[in-house]
Amino acid sequence: MKSTLIIVPTYNECDNISLLMDGILAEAPQCSVLFIDDNSTDGTRDEIQRFMRAHPDRVFMEKRPGKLGLGTAYIHGFKWALRRNFDHIIQMDADLSHDPKYLPVMMSQLESKPLVIGSRYVSGGGTRNWSAIRKLISRFGSIYARLILGLPVNDFTGGFNGWQAATLRSLPLDDVKSNGYVFQIEMKARAIRAGAAFVEVPIIFVDRQVGQSKMSSGIVYEAMWRVLTLRQTLAAKKPAALSDRHAGRPASPQ
Ligand SMILES: Nc1nc2c(ncn2[C@@H]2O[C@H](COP(=O)(O)OP(=O)(O)OP(=O)(O)O)[C@@H](O)[C@H]2O)c(=O)[nH]1
Ligand SMILES: [Mg+2]
């Protein structure tokens, strides 16, 4: 059986850890979990350590000294996973916006697809409890990236994604410079341009109930600017064939 690591970046998510871990243990008991915590001050680390003590062989934490950003947290986690030879890597938020109930379908799709995208913008996907402005920013972000980068992904900005290890190994992780939302766009664009086949699995994204959003206007501006520079970067590389892609269609159940 393939080994799967779920990577969860955390910054002050104390009240979400327990529910998240209960969900993961129920839906994907065979998976390992790696938290990347950026020196949370609200007791997040204590909560994580509680689960590490209960599941020492499968719950791990990397501690970083301060809030260094989502992008570098994931790159740190990806490298950690590759060093330990996990076959599949799934990234998800700690704030329960990404429901662990989707883990089984993502894992089963990863058996055959190099990149599995949890998608709000394919049939069966959607968002719950988001303000009109958040919906607009998210929808616009994905359409903007799709048009500028010329790649047929419906949900470019989502952060609930699965990777075959070989897909991550094929990417120059040290060259990934985006740190906020746009990190999700850059990773997908680099992988697809490198030839990774992908599938978009429908997910319902639920707005966080507790904890503080780390979203800011700076993150949105970074995304708009960075997508433009990313187009230049990727244009300099030879595009690979976009074979076996299933953009826009929900994954068929297996
Ligand atoms: N390690 C680390 N984790 C972070 C950082 N910024 C955000 N996170 C985590 O990344 C995940 C996504 O962050 P959120 O604040 O939920 O951002 P979002 O989902 O884009 O926006 P909201 O859901 O509106 O809050 C959560 O698990 C956060 O705790 C960071 O600088 N370092
Ligand atoms: Mg969130």
- Ligand 1 atom closest to 8 (CA): 27
Q: Report the pocket of ligand 1 as residue ranges, CB < 6 Å.
A: 9-11, 13, 36-38, 67-70, 73, 93-95, 97, 208, 213-215
Residue 252 has pLDDT above 50, yes or no: no
Residue 81 and residue 73: Cα distance in Å, rounded? 12
pLDDT tens per residue across span 3-42: 999 999 999 999 999 999 999 999 999 999 999 999 999 9
pLDDT at 240: 55
- Ligand 1 atom closest to 179 (CA): 31
Ligand nearest to the CA of 70: 1
pLDDT tens per residue across span 79-90: 999 999 999 999
Please state the rounded mean pLDDT for residues 37-63: 98
Compute, in degrees rounded to 10, the torsion defined by CA atoms 169, 70, 118, 195: -30
What percent of the chain is predicted at pLDDT more than 90?
76
Residue 122 and residue 38: Cα distance in Å, rounded? 33
Residue 102 has pLDDT above 60, yes or no: yes
- Domain residue ranges in the chain: 4-235
Instruction: Count the alpha carbons within 13 Å of 251 in the hemisphere toward its beta carbon.
Output: 26
The CATH H-level (homologous superfamily) assignment of domain 4-235 is Spore Coat Polysaccharide Biosynthesis Protein SpsA; Chain A (3.90.550.10)
- In this structure, the residue with its CA closest to atom 10 of ligand 1 is 9
- pLDDT range class, residue 239, cuts 50, 70, 90: low
How far is ligand 2, taken at its centre, from the CA of residue 97, in Å?
Answer: 6
Residue 254 has pLDDT above 80, yes or no: no
pLDDT at 219: 75
pLDDT at 214: 66
Residue 104 has pLDDT above 80, yes or no: yes
pLDDT at 180: 75
Pairing of strands 88-91, 4-10: parallel
pLDDT tens per residue across span 132-162: 988 898 899 999 999 999 999 999 999 999 9
Sequential DSSP letters for 233-246: HHHTSPPPP-TT-B
The lowest-confidence range among 104-113, 164-173, 201-210, 230-239 is: 230-239
- Asked if 20 contacts 6 with a C-beta cutoff of 8 angstroms, the reply is no
pTM, to two decimals: 0.91
pLDDT at 37: 98
- Ligand 1 atom closest to 72 (CA): 32
- Mean pLDDT, rounded, of the chain: 91
Please state the rounded mean pLDDT for residues 238-243: 50
Three state DSSP letters for 102-133: HHHHHHHHHCCCCEEEEECCCCCCEEECCCHH
Residue 224 has pLDDT above 60, yes or no: yes
How far is ligand 2, taken at its centre, from the CA of residue 241, in Å?
Answer: 33
Please state the rounded mean pLDDT for residues 203-230: 83
